[in-house]
Chains A and B, each alone.
Chain A
Amino acid sequence: MKRKHQRLFLGLAALGAIGGASGLALSALQDQAAFFYTPSDVATKSPLTDKAVRLGGMVEKGSIRHLSDGVTIAFVVTDNAAKVPVRFTGVAPDLFKEGSGVVAEGKFTDAGGFVADNLLAKHDERYMPPEIADKMAAAGAGTTAAGTK
């Protein structure tokens, strides 16, 4: 192969690879990106029930119940404007407690509840997910102790 051709070929191969990667990534993003909901979002627009999504907010005070199977908990996620009941089977993460921020990964049920496969609680009690801080401020609850960072 001549030098000029080789450079051209390598350039085209690189472009093709970058194009292919972007195409693959963007098409996969269409069905794999998980949307983020707050309880207020759920109240105003009906959420998708067939896709994994994230639900974020505060764990309502006094809402955590342990179900009789011993491994499932039920609690309520709130952003001080709306509420969503959540069920989770598993060991709740460190720092998961009432009055703290939580992000639940899972699916909405047709009945308007949420079944979480995974709970994320922040590993720093001073920290709050920016989404929640923003949305809580927007919901007029920016003055709660944890709502202002």
Chain B
Amino acid sequence: MIAEAGLAALWFAAAMALLQLASAALGLRLKQDELAAAVRPVAIAQGALAALSFALLIILFLRSDMSVLLVAQNSHSAKPLLYKFAGAWGNHEGSMLLWVTVLALAGAGIAMFERKLDRATLIATLGAQAFIALGFYAFLVIASNPFTRLDPPALDGMGLNPLLQDPGLAFHPPTLYFGYVGLSIAFSFAVGAMITREVGPVFARAMRPWVLGAWIFLTIGITAGSYWAYYELGWGGWWFWDPVENASLMPWLAATALLHSVNVLAARDGLRAWTLMLAVVAFSMSMLGTFLVRSGILTSVHAFAVDPTRGSFILVLLAIYIGGALALYGARVGRVKAGQPFDLLSREGGLVLNNLLLSVILGIVLIGTLYPIVAQAMGQQLSVGPPFFNKTTGPIALFLVAAMAVGPMLRWRRDEANAILEKMTVPAGAAALVTAATFLAADDASWMEIVGLGLAAAVAIASFAPLWRRNLLRTPLFTWGMIVAHFGCAVSLAGMAADSAFTSERLVAARYGQPYYVGPWRIVLNGVAPVVGDNWSAVEGRVTAIRSDGGTPLLLTPQRRFYASPPTDTAEASIRTRVDGQLYAVLGAQDAQGRWQLRLWWKPFVTLIWFGGGLIALGGALSLIGRISRERRSVRRREEAE
């Protein structure tokens, strides 16, 4: 009965979305206040029904109900509880249901808590949200019903891909989905504002928390995904420019640009049309991301058993959403009045530069990601990999980081070049010093690595400049947020450049007891022994590592694991973290003479990459809390005045 109830809840939620769209459209068009008043409660009902449907799917997975096709295909009764739970969205149908559930809950959230926006724009926003949701409901009930029964029931499930049986990964897709959905909400606000033509600071302040929230989740999702690829794939790399990685990076780039331009709109009432455009682009990128991952159009290490027939459905949805959004933009943007003017050398000018550079990087990543698909359609098989992306986006990203050192020091409206030069002396001096030191110390480092380290030093110092001569306690929380996020960028960049410039790597056919050297470490393989886990067995290498300058020895235990269901073997890298880097070992196969393949890396300061990513997300969170509490206060003050 649970599966049937879940499907019924899904249908009712779809009906609510239809009702929500119809009453919003008719209410606004016919100026029927009673109809428009229905939109809020209906949006809340839609959220509750979608959440109920998803909760029932989770119950089916927790109970291992093998009479449901999706459970039988993706779960197994012997699986640890966490992965039964996460298995509910570790597959196509479940993840789509999660997508629409988050979207519906976000709509309910707007209906309950948004108070500043004028009523017509709010109704139009909820109408747009219902329109987006309807496409996903149709997709679910027509092409990917998660509640399909299996008759007769399976004896047991087929299990979950072992690579996905990882606590970090269980929460990786939902994190990205929160980000994608947040951007679709920002887009709904933009549609609402375009319909009612109320594009201004009030609209910007209503949209900003959703952009910030989406951006925080995307940042966490990308950072966690990168670390997952680093330790789980066992290739020693942390970013592969894989199309699926790009699918999450592109919305992040657009969201980062939007996040900065929406501040110009909120604070100075400038960049109106541009901010609307970015909201359209950010949403398009998140839809494209969903499309790329879910359609099976990509050849990718991430492409887990996909069904190409669904691709056409999502492609049609994509065309309707993006085409409709661009058409509405084209029809309405001419009537959006120009905002406040500003000098080129001003905070606004700096933010425009930020937006342009981010857009350029986004454009390059988009071209590089889609080019193989287009080429394939024209009969040519090719792939675009890291050399292309590093060579093209690297220099622009470094320029962007250089601009980030200066931007926050600029004043709104206009600033003096001399004043800026004066403020920049300390960061520029630090950059020169670090660049020179790196150049002398690492003679085989590339110019990007050297400049990267120098710029990281400059931004690390410059990011604190907004605190100069300010009362630290009275500095608003969102200013702290900006400082922490910019500092996080510097930390992450330092990690990337250090890892790229200073990593040492060894591949050996190891004999027991014989020493090998990687970086400052002396490594010995003492033995290989069998071990057994919950649903796997493995051979485990016992590797000791001693630093050349002494210290306690480290034990590394890289494994080759064998999973029975589905039958898979995987390499489990063993990683030991030190203050100044990570030692990384992967066990390979044994050869005829009894030697084991052992791949070793010493990666100085590599952890800074993800630590920086965490700081960026923390900065976003501080900013979000600061913004929301300030809005709350101003709403309360206004209500008291009334």
A side interface size, CB within 8 A: 50
A89 to chain B: closest residue by CB:
B507
Q: Give me 8 other A-B pairs in contact (C-beta within 8 A), A22-B363, A24-B392, A94-B571 excluded.
A: A4-B338, A6-B342, A14-B356, A22-B367, A36-B383, A122-B301, A123-B568, A131-B299
**Interface members, chain A 51-89 (any B CB < 8 Å):** 52, 54, 66, 69-71, 89
| Docked CA distance A125–B159 (Å) | 13
The answer to whether A18 and B363 touch (CB under 8 A), given A13-B352, A32-B387, is: yes
Residue numbers in A under 8 Å from B357 (CB-CB): 17
Across the interface, do B368 and A66 meet the contact criterion of CB distance under 8 Å? no
Q: Does A120 contact B (CB under 8 A)?
A: yes
**Interface members, chain A 120-146 (any B CB < 8 Å):** 120, 122-127, 129-131
Across the interface, do B383 and A54 meet the contact criterion of CB distance under 8 Å? yes
- B146–chain A nearest beta-carbon distance, Å: 20
Q: Does B589 contact A (CB under 8 A)?
A: yes
Residue numbers in B under 8 Å from A33 (CB-CB): 371-372, 375, 382-384, 388
B596 to chain A: closest residue by CB:
A70
Contact among A6, A17, A70 with B341 in the assembled complex (CB-CB below 8 Å): A6
Across the interface, do A125 and B507 meet the contact criterion of CB distance under 8 Å? no
B360 to chain A: closest residue by CB:
A21
Across the interface, do B568 and A94 meet the contact criterion of CB distance under 8 Å? yes
Contact among A25, A95, A105, A129 with B364 in the assembled complex (CB-CB below 8 Å): A25
Q: Does B343 contact A (CB under 8 A)?
A: yes
Interface 0/1 of B111-152, CB less than 8 Å to A: 000000000000000000000000000000000000000000
Q: Does A3 contact B (CB under 8 A)?
A: yes
- B600–chain A nearest beta-carbon distance, Å: 11
Q: Does A10 contact B (CB under 8 A)?
A: yes
Across the interface, do B274 and A25 meet the contact criterion of CB distance under 8 Å? no
| Docked CA distance A126–B567 (Å) | 11
Across the interface, do A70 and B509 meet the contact criterion of CB distance under 8 Å? yes
| Docked CA distance A90–B591 (Å) | 13
B357 to chain A: closest residue by CB:
A17
The answer to whether A124 and B589 touch (CB under 8 A), given A36-B383, A95-B568, is: no
A14 to chain B: closest residue by CB:
B356
B391 to chain A: closest residue by CB:
A28
What are 29 pairs between A and B in contact, CB < 8 Å?
A1-B341, A3-B338, A3-B341, A10-B274, A14-B274, A14-B359, A17-B356, A17-B363, A18-B360, A18-B363, A21-B359, A25-B364, A25-B368, A29-B384, A32-B385, A33-B371, A33-B382, A33-B384, A34-B384, A34-B385, A35-B382, A36-B383, A37-B381, A71-B597, A90-B599, A123-B161, A126-B305, A127-B304, A127-B305
Contact among A13, A26, A34 with B383 in the assembled complex (CB-CB below 8 Å): A34
| Docked CA distance A129–B384 (Å) | 16
Interface 0/1 of B555-577, CB less than 8 Å to A: 00000000000111111000000
Residue numbers in A under 8 Å from B367 (CB-CB): 21-22, 25-26, 29
Contact among B299, B375, B391, B588 with A92 in the assembled complex (CB-CB below 8 Å): B588
The answer to whether A21 and B363 touch (CB under 8 A), given A89-B507, A125-B566, A127-B304, is: yes
A118 to chain B: closest residue by CB:
B235
- For the complex of A and B, list the 7 residue pairs with the smallest distance between their C-beta atoms, beginning with the closest: A70-B509, A36-B381, A32-B388, A91-B588, A21-B363, A21-B360, A25-B367
Across the interface, do B507 and A90 meet the contact criterion of CB distance under 8 Å? yes
Residue numbers in A under 8 Å from B595 (CB-CB): 70
Across the interface, do A91 and B597 meet the contact criterion of CB distance under 8 Å? yes
The answer to whether A71 and B387 touch (CB under 8 A), given A28-B392, A29-B371, is: no
- A129–chain B nearest beta-carbon distance, Å: 5
| Docked CA distance A57–B82 (Å) | 37
B337 to chain A: closest residue by CB:
A3
Residue numbers in A under 8 Å from B571 (CB-CB): 91, 93-94
Residue numbers in A under 8 Å from B509 (CB-CB): 69-71
* Residues of B in contact with A (beta carbons under 8 Å apart): 161, 163, 234, 271, 273-274, 299, 301, 303-306, 308, 338, 341-344, 352, 356-357, 359-361, 363-364, 367-368, 371-372, 375-376, 380-385, 387-388, 391-392, 507-509, 566-571, 586-589, 591-593, 595, 597, 599
Residue numbers in A under 8 Å from B384 (CB-CB): 29, 32-34
Across the interface, do B567 and A52 meet the contact criterion of CB distance under 8 Å? no
| Docked CA distance A123–B305 (Å) | 9
Residue numbers in A under 8 Å from B301 (CB-CB): 120, 122-123
Q: Does A45 contact B (CB under 8 A)?
A: no
| Docked CA distance A34–B146 (Å) | 38
Across the interface, do B597 and A70 meet the contact criterion of CB distance under 8 Å? yes
| Docked CA distance A127–B306 (Å) | 8
The answer to whether A21 and B364 touch (CB under 8 A), given A28-B391, A71-B509, is: yes
The answer to whether A123 and B163 touch (CB under 8 A), given A2-B341, A13-B352, is: yes
The answer to whether A29 and B383 touch (CB under 8 A), given A20-B360, A91-B507, A125-B566, is: no
Across the interface, do A25 and B304 meet the contact criterion of CB distance under 8 Å? no
Across the interface, do B341 and A24 meet the contact criterion of CB distance under 8 Å? no
B339 to chain A: closest residue by CB:
A3
Across the interface, do B360 and A17 meet the contact criterion of CB distance under 8 Å? yes
Across the interface, do B391 and A32 meet the contact criterion of CB distance under 8 Å? yes
Residue numbers in B under 8 Å from A29 (CB-CB): 367-368, 371, 384, 388
Residue numbers in B under 8 Å from A130 (CB-CB): 299, 308
A130 to chain B: closest residue by CB:
B299
Residue numbers in A under 8 Å from B569 (CB-CB): 94-95
Across the interface, do A125 and B568 meet the contact criterion of CB distance under 8 Å? yes
B571 to chain A: closest residue by CB:
A94
B356 to chain A: closest residue by CB:
A17
Residue numbers in A under 8 Å from B591 (CB-CB): 66, 70
Residue numbers in A under 8 Å from B234 (CB-CB): 91, 94
Residue numbers in A under 8 Å from B381 (CB-CB): 35-37, 131
Residue numbers in A under 8 Å from B360 (CB-CB): 17-18, 20-21
| Docked CA distance A148–B342 (Å) | 61
Residue numbers in A under 8 Å from B273 (CB-CB): 7
Residue numbers in A under 8 Å from B593 (CB-CB): 70
Residue numbers in B under 8 Å from A71 (CB-CB): 507-509, 588, 597
The answer to whether A10 and B589 touch (CB under 8 A), given A17-B359, A29-B368, is: no
Across the interface, do B305 and A124 meet the contact criterion of CB distance under 8 Å? yes
| Docked CA distance A65–B451 (Å) | 44
| Docked CA distance A77–B2 (Å) | 49
| Docked CA distance A71–B301 (Å) | 24
Residue numbers in B under 8 Å from A127 (CB-CB): 303-306
- A30–chain B nearest beta-carbon distance, Å: 10
Across the interface, do B586 and A91 meet the contact criterion of CB distance under 8 Å? yes
- B591–chain A nearest beta-carbon distance, Å: 5
| Docked CA distance A26–B375 (Å) | 13
- B609–chain A nearest beta-carbon distance, Å: 21
| Docked CA distance A35–B383 (Å) | 6
Across the interface, do A7 and B343 meet the contact criterion of CB distance under 8 Å? no
Residue numbers in B under 8 Å from A66 (CB-CB): 589, 591-592
- A24–chain B nearest beta-carbon distance, Å: 6
- A7–chain B nearest beta-carbon distance, Å: 6
A20 to chain B: closest residue by CB:
B360
Across the interface, do A123 and B592 meet the contact criterion of CB distance under 8 Å? no
A70 to chain B: closest residue by CB:
B509
